[in-house]
Chains A and B, each alone.
Chain A
Amino acid sequence: MTDSAPNPSRNAPIRYGEAALAVACGVLLAAVLQNAWGLLRHAKAASWVPALAAAAAAALGLALSVTLRRHLRRGLTDGRVVACAALALALWLAVGACFVEEGAHAPPPEAPAGREAPRPEELNADAWPAPVLRTARILGLTDAYHAWPAYALFGFLGLTSLLAALRPRTRGLASLARRAAHLGVLLVLAGATLSQLAARRARVEGSREMSVTWNSGGPPPFDLRLDRLAVEPKAVEFRPRGARGEPQYLRAAPGAGREIGGVRFEIAEYLPNAVAEEEITEAPGAARTAPPLFQMEFLPKEGELFRRHYQPRDRRPVSGPYGVEIRHARAASRAEYERLLSAPRPWPEETLVVEKLGESRKPELIPLRPRKEKIGQEISHELLGALRLHVADWAPSGTARLGHFEPERAGRASLPALQIELRGSGEAPFWVVSTPRGDRERRHTVGTLPLELRRHRFRYWAAPEPPVAVRILEGPGEPRRLVLLTDPPKAHRFEEDDVVALGHAGLRLRLVRAWRSAVKRLIARPAGEGSRGRSAVLLRARGPFPDREAWLLAGDREGRKFGPWTARLLRQAPVPERTVAEVSVLDRTGAVLASGPVRYNRPLRTGAWRVYLRRASPPAAVLSIVRDPGLFLVYPGLALVALGVLALIPLSRRARAENAREGEA
């Protein structure tokens, strides 16, 4: 924008800078005018002083700058005068901001909860030595915005900017943008002036009935009644299901409750430090559509026993190298299962994934291209140690059952397969089978080494200790049983309380309980001493649906459904507070004209009036009630200023370049 040569004129006007300067200065100038207007109406002679001083100083400053510029052509340009005034004002306000504002205009200081607010004079006396404070008070720095230097400087800058804004400019798009900005400034000034002259505002404070007294004359048309003032921590958040709407909140405290949208919610129990547990019950009814579930107990040779719940398709690490996999045929029927298995599938390019359990390093990927010409290919890797994997054979189809493969034999299904041979350990070759769908997980164990086919990849786990893989089969046509994938794989029909020793791994496995069709429910229990848990609430709901209660744990992303609401417990830190004041607007007869909640940033609007929440410390609230007819001018005015100023950035550069070209011509 300013890359081209600058205007050599000493009195070149600031473009958008002046326009924007006029916004702020104009608003404050309007405040000066309003002050004068209020003084006229109330005839308080003593308060004429700052207004007169401001007007006089502004006029004097302007006259001086114009006159001196004429007589002192060298040095004193209007640019320097304006810049000096701006810097003087900046310095004045910067120093003034160091003091807590005192005087009639000072806003009431915030009081800490349960304590009385200290007075500004006391705060200043605590912070500054007495001589400094005394000097600051004499100079007017403790009320910097309302002291005569500020009035004078604001007035001077405002008038200068106005004159600059009204100065005729060049033609073209840049001029249009400039005019838009100027029009915006004028609108803002008009709106601010109108606001200051005609706005009616009152600040009311109280805990119940509030009688409104306006800052200017005239009887108040109504009173306010504070129906309820509450500080609601954002704890349990309720969001409407399937509809847009504001979330509602319920404090997470024992016994807390409220009615939301026709549903009564109560906190039945609150645990600040809890851990989650699954409670399992048999599914009710004859249909039993829920999946089966097994509770397995692992009894290591050393260390404590541990229990885990497994359902088909669950895959959880158990401890160290131990793993449990549950295979589940998701087909609806045996025919569907057969169809899926026999579906044709091209032979993929497989990848051998070599990974050491318990290490964070990335797995090593070794591409396998098991074409016929690749048969005999050896694969070695540092993680494999002394072992070598050898691609022994491959078969386009065959029969797979429990990890064994028989090529070209009629069976239940025909599958492509890859034979891998382990050399160096004396183990027999075994087959890795690629399933038609490719999304099931299979693990094969040879000796102490599990090899897994997972999403078309072979995974080799070089485990630090002898691992054991266990698979629980539950598919159509197969009885429920555990298959221990040791060497060779063994199937074992578990009865409850059966214990199976897994030999070399030193691990015993016990089936504690099996549910044919289980329903899991999340419950929370207090966490032990010193352990870090999460907060949890037991939420109970009564509404136009069967009574329901469920535990919510802090931080869970998925909410729980309660009729038309989805509830979740938000994290405890940081917990913002939501202050809400429910207010009724009453006419002179006591009839309710309007009522509703008022929150920070969300005033209650009723007709031309707005009720703002300024401060709240239960049980009292400070509210502002305002009717501002100037707002409808200020908003479009500022929008015009913004548009004009932003458009000027590229346009002014182009206009300057055109001017330069014209000048050269």
Chain B
Amino acid sequence: MNAAQVLAVAALALYLSGAISALAAAATRIKARQALRRLALGAAALGTAANLAALVLEGIDLGRFPAATGREVLALGALCVVLVEVARFLVLRPRPTLGPSLLLAALYLFGGAVARGTPHGARAVPEILGSGWFVPHLAVYLVGFAYLAQAGLGALLYPLVRRRGEEAAGRLARELRARACLGFPFLTLGLAIGALWAQDAWADYWGRGPGETWALVAWLVYAAYLRLALSSEREARRALPLLVAGFAALLFAWQGVKLLPSAGTDARHTHMRGAARR
């Protein structure tokens, strides 16, 4: 286990402990709440530093930006999630809700650690990904995905929260809408940057492959949700299933399209997986 891997494990442990502290702070008495919040913030800061250091060390070792294999992408995604959460807190000053983001960052890192078929230390990026558009395309998608995942998973909890009362349900619905509102622009930018990349590489903005199509499907579902959710609070609650559907579409666009019979025709979004298998 090299230094980068040790740091990644440390980041995973810190994110996880930070998430547990933050979630416990939300469910505990007033006295202990402040201490737990401070603990969560400290763990998040240290975890971010460890995550960043692991990525830097890995990049130095590989001699390139570490965002080509699934494991590297997930590690970068974890860092983006926490950084955007911090930026959100600094700019918007919402009620502190660090727990879900830290939990998702920890899940990203854990998923990267156990991902099968991801070549560790793959030094060269597949040829088709060798573009300056790749990293921004990926980074904004990862951030968008993180917030929309929180919204989608939170929507699954809505029936349970509703039993605690209308007020709690309304608060959850507003929080989920806020997260979807934050994730949607990043999703849109990801699509737009992808289109520009396609234009730069193939002289076509849109290739109509299943990967692109399912990304557009997810975007349309979220657009529909926001169109309803921003019109009234009652609509926001009624449209919550769309958050789950949108997250399912996102997951399918990421991992599911390769199961489709048409996946073989989408050279752009299946190239990386093919390269990893080689």
Query: A384 in the interface, Cβ–Cβ < 8 Å?
Result: no
Query: A165 in the interface, Cβ–Cβ < 8 Å?
Result: no
Return B98 CB to nearest CB of chain A, in Å. 16
Interface size on A, residues (CB 8 A): 84
- Contacts of B234-249 to chain A: CB distance below 8 A: 235-236, 239, 242, 249
A14-B226, A641-B192 known; A579 vs B127 contact (CB < 8 Å)? yes
A642 to B188, CA, bound (A): 9
Q: Is the CB of A96 within 8 A of B95?
A: no
Contacts of A21 in B (CB 8 A): 223
What 0/1 readout, one digit per residue, does chain B (178-216) give for beta carbons within 8 Å of chain A? 100110110011011001100111110111101001101
Contacts of B196 in A (CB 8 A): 634-635, 638
- Contacts of A593-621 to chain B: CB distance below 8 A: 599-601, 603, 610, 612, 614
Query: A632 in the interface, Cβ–Cβ < 8 Å?
Result: no
Query: B28 in the interface, Cβ–Cβ < 8 Å?
Result: no
A271 to B117, CA, bound (A): 27
Nearest B-chain residue to A98, judged by Cβ:
B260
Nearest B-chain residue to A10, judged by Cβ:
B231
A17-B227, A109-B264, A600-B127 known; A96 vs B213 contact (CB < 8 Å)? yes
Interface size on B, residues (CB 8 A): 73
Q: Is the CB of B220 within 8 A of A87?
A: yes
What 0/1 readout, one digit per residue, does chain B (36-75) give for beta carbons within 8 Å of chain A? 0000000000000000000000000000000000000000
A6 to B131, CA, bound (A): 41
Q: Is the CB of B125 within 8 A of A576?
A: yes
State which of B92, B131, B276 has its C-beta within 8 Å of the C-beta of A650.
B92
Question: Which of A77-85, A409-417, A462-470 lies at the binding interface?
Answer: A77-85
A128 to B261, CA, bound (A): 9
Q: Is the CB of A101 within 8 A of B262?
A: yes
Query: A94 in the interface, Cβ–Cβ < 8 Å?
Result: yes
Contacts of A577 in B (CB 8 A): 127
Nearest B-chain residue to A624, judged by Cβ:
B203
A79 to B189, CA, bound (A): 23
Question: Which of A52-60, A280-288, A502-510, A567-575 lies at the binding interface?
Answer: A567-575
Contacts of A100 in B (CB 8 A): 261-262, 264-265
A603 to B201, CA, bound (A): 7
Q: Is the CB of A624 within 8 A of B202?
A: yes
A638 to B192, CA, bound (A): 7
A610 to B202, CA, bound (A): 10
How many pairs of A and B residues are in contact by the CB < 8 Å rule?
Answer: 218
Q: Is the CB of B262 within 8 A of A97?
A: yes
A82 to B181, CA, bound (A): 17
Q: Is the CB of B203 within 8 A of A83?
A: no
Q: Is the CB of A574 within 8 A of B275?
A: yes
A571-B123, A576-B124 known; A653 vs B92 contact (CB < 8 Å)? yes
Q: Is the CB of A645 within 8 A of B124?
A: no
Q: Is the CB of A24 within 8 A of B230?
A: no
Query: A487 in the interface, Cβ–Cβ < 8 Å?
Result: no
Contacts of B230 in A (CB 8 A): 2, 6-7, 12, 14-15, 17
A305 to B208, CA, bound (A): 66
Q: Is the CB of B91 within 8 A of A570?
A: no
Q: Is the CB of B178 within 8 A of A3?
A: yes
Query: A163 in the interface, Cβ–Cβ < 8 Å?
Result: no
State which of B119, B127, B178, B181 has its C-beta within 8 Å of the C-beta of A578.
B127
Q: Is the CB of A97 within 8 A of B188?
A: no
- Contacts of A616-647 to chain B: CB distance below 8 A: 624, 626, 628, 631, 634-635, 638, 641-642, 645-646
What are 12 A-B interface contacts by the 8 Å CB criterion? Answer: A1-B178, A7-B230, A83-B224, A87-B221, A90-B220, A93-B217, A120-B265, A576-B124, A628-B203, A645-B189, A649-B182, A649-B185
Beyond A192-B205, A634-B199, 7 additional pairs, beta carbon < 8 A:
A15-B230, A86-B220, A86-B221, A87-B221, A107-B265, A126-B261, A570-B123
B-binding residues in A (CB < 8 A):
1-3, 5-12, 14-18, 20-21, 23-24, 27, 77, 79-80, 82-84, 86-87, 89-90, 93-94, 96-101, 107, 109-110, 120, 123-124, 126-128, 144-145, 192, 201, 234, 570-571, 573-579, 599-601, 603, 610, 612, 614, 624, 626, 628, 631, 634-635, 638, 641-642, 645-646, 648-650, 653
